[in-house]
Structure formats: structure tokens, C-alpha cells
Amino acid sequence: MSAADLLRTRQQAAVAPGVGSRAIFADRAENAELWDVDGKRYIDFAAGIAVNNTGHRHPRIMQAVGEQASRFTHTCFHVAPYESYIGLAERLNAVAPTGSDNRTMLVTTGAEAVENAVKIARAYTKRSGIVAFGGAFHGRTLLGMALTGKVAPYKKNFGPFPAEIFHAPFPNDYLGVSVEGALRALDALFAADVDPERIAAIIVEPVQGEGGFNVAPPDFLKALRALADRHGIVLIADEVQSGMARTGRMFGIEHAGIAADIVTMAKGLAGGFPLSAVVGKTEIMSAAHTGGLGGTYAGNPLAVAAANAVLDVIEDERLCDRATVIGSTLKKRLKNLAARQGMERIGDVRGLGAMVAFELVTNRASRQADVQLTSDIVAAAEQHGLILLSCGTRQNVIRLLPPLTIDDATLEEGLDLLERSVETACSAIG
């Protein structure tokens, strides 16, 4: 029995079955490569779900964490604050795309960041309603699930959910939802279900993550900005997955040329250490009373040290530019693959920067989702030594999230493995 088989048996006996996982048991990792407990090498096109934008164990991040660990690991910022938290807040205030003077609070997970953003928006507006979008993902906490616009696997069996959460369609040109149609639906929501004067915030992902890497058209985001301004609504940009240079800009909403009121960030913020942030306009962020925000582990010193190093690496290694190059390479290879005879099940290739995905369909005319083929490609990739992730409300999208520090040779090797995996899965179905 392999080491992985033994661990799988132990997992089944010890871990709650609702905690889904893959069959790859990690032993060590470096930049864009990972080795399992049996010594098998994988090229990582998942990056811990867009967490390791700076790669596994970047030397500068590991050094920063080691230096912090030699001084102290935890005091709780509420009990004995520390300079590194303040310094990181200063840096995030400077880069957050609000077009304003900002303030920051640090927490631990993306869901925490989203929940606190909602709390702050409600405190500021003295309103309670929140508008989110179909296909959105905002976390697995109760409020996060309520905001999320995808039932399986996130919301199924876990209700009832908090009240006054409203969903509107997200533009999806491939499935026939235009910007105009999405905005009309939002108008209908305000006419039939809730007065816009009761809405505290609109929360939107500039690129939907779990929803299928659907890119919000700039005209849609501009319309949301205008709508929010007209009704005194706080516009929250959820940049948990799309932030930290992943799309070719520090934050995805920058591509639309508009400002958010609050930005949530996590995942790539601390290079593999648990940290998230809520950054917003000073007037809005100051609405919550003292003591109303925070948490025991919020802004952990090790994670803060990692995040400061991440910001240095993004700047010094020009990772925004690198994301654009990687994204161009990914799209070119995928579009060439889709153009080949026998690859008609690749229905769409899309993304922004190095946040790229392709959608699998039974045929391009009907655009019917091919869930089985999606699963087969992910499984074939695992056999070939490539880590892939699926996503999408129809569970038929494969997303590509290689570290932004991946070298050209490893990127090309990974794309060769991807092509082989798609060929393997497609040939099996004829």
C-alpha cells in the first residue's frame, strides 16, 4: 500500500466527510512544483486556489516569516499591537483602488473580510439590504453562503440564510446574459423586491472565481458605480481571488477604470499564510464603533510579515506584468487547442491576466454543460502530473491559476500536460 493510500484510509477514519479533498497528499513544494508523499512530481496550476501567486515557499517570504517567528508569533493586536500591522495597513491604503484616503482592518479569511465589509457598510449607511450576483462566491460562513450565488456544493442543506440578501444576474455573454439584460434585472429587483434606499451595499467580484472565471464587463462595473452613487450605496469589490496581481493589475476592478468604496482581499495577500484585509474609504471605515471590528487571530504577526514580503515581491519581480504574459500564453495555447479537430467540446476560453479558464460543452451549438468531461480532464491531469481545478455554476469549467513566479519552461511543460490530459479525456468518449 502506498503512503497516499495509507493517508487516505486515515483521513476517512478521522476527518469529517464534508471536508472535500483530492487524492494528492503533499510532502513538499517549491515555486510551481509539488511532490506528494510517494515522491510523484506535479506542476501546480492551482496555486492553493490563487493563494500562492508568489509561488510555494518564496525565499523572501520564508525569510520574513522566519525573522518574525524569532521575535514573537502572537500577541493579539487588540492586546499588544505591533508596527508590522500598521505598516501593512499603510501600504494597502496606498494601493487599494478607491481613489480616496483609506483605512484598513486585517482579519484571517476571505469570508471574514466579506462579513466585515458588510458590517461596515451597514454601520455607515444605517441600512441592511445587500445585493450580490448569481454565480458569486463570497465564503462558506452563514452570511458568506447567503451572498454566494451557487447552490452546490456551498449552500445545499445549510439554510435558512440571513434575510435581506438579494441576487441579480451577472453578465455572461457566452450564456446569453448581456450587460443590458443584467442591468434591467437589477432595475426589476429594485422595482419589485426592495427599495434601493434600503440597500447598504452591492458586492461584486470583478472576475467571478467559483462562478466560472466570468469577467465583469467594464460597462457593467461602471453602471454599478453610477447606481451606487445615485442611491448612496456602498460598492464592495470582492478581490479575494482576483486580487494581488493575478489579473495583470493589483486588483481586477482597475481594468474597468472605476473606484470601489471597499475592497476585500485575501488568498494571494500573504503567500500561503492566513490573512485577509478590508480596505476602504476613511469615512466609511470609520463608521464602526471602537471594539466592533477585529478578532483574536486577526492580523497574525507571521502572516503580516509574509504579506509585507509579498508586496515587495510583486513590485520587485513585476508580477503584474508577468501575469499578463502568462495569461496571453495560456489563452493562446487553449485557443489553438480548441481550434483542433476533435476538440469541439471546448466551448469557450476566457479570463483576465493569469486568471484563465475554459468551458466544456457537449457541443458548441447547444452549449450544454459537459460535467463528466470536466471531471475526466481533471482526473487525467492528476495522472499526468498536473494539478487542475474545476469551477462554474454548471460545474463544467476548468480554471488555470499557475503561480505568477512560474518560469517559462515549467509553464510550457504544464501546458503540454494539459493538452495531453484533454486529449486523453476526449479520446475516451469518442
Cα atoms in the 13 Å half-sphere on the side-chain side of 271: 30
Looking at the chain, which residues constitute the CATH 3.40.640.10 domain(s)? 62-316
Give tens-digit pLDDT for 244-285. Answer: 999 999 999 999 999 999 999 999 999 999 999 999 999 999
Average confidence (pLDDT) over 385-393: 97
pLDDT one-digit tens code per residue, 56-75 = 999 999 999 999 999 999 99
The reported pLDDT for the residue numbered 53 is 98
Going by CATH, does the domain composed of 62-316 fall within 3.90.79.10?
no
Angle ∠(156,158,164) on CA atoms, nearest 5: 100
Question: What global pTM score does this model have?
Answer: 0.97
Mean pLDDT value of segment 26-30: 98
* Structure confidence at residue 428 as a pLDDT band (50, 70, 90): confident
Instruction: Tell me the pLDDT tens digit for each residue of 144-173.
Output: 999 999 888 898 998 899 999 999 999 999
Q: What residues pair up with 166 in beta bridges, in sequence order?
A: 131
What is the end-to-end Cα distance of the chain in Å, rounded? Answer: 34
Q: Which pLDDT band, with edges at 50, 70 and 90, does 430 fall under?
A: low
At residue 152, the pLDDT reads 85
- Check pLDDT > 90 for residue 1: no
Domain 3-57+318-429 grouped into CATH 3.90.1150.10: yes
Q: In what order do the strands lie in the sheet with 234-238?
A: 102-107, 276-281, 262-265, 234-238, 199-204, 129-133, 165-168
Q: Which residues of the chain are in CATH 3.90.1150.10 domains?
A: 3-57+318-429
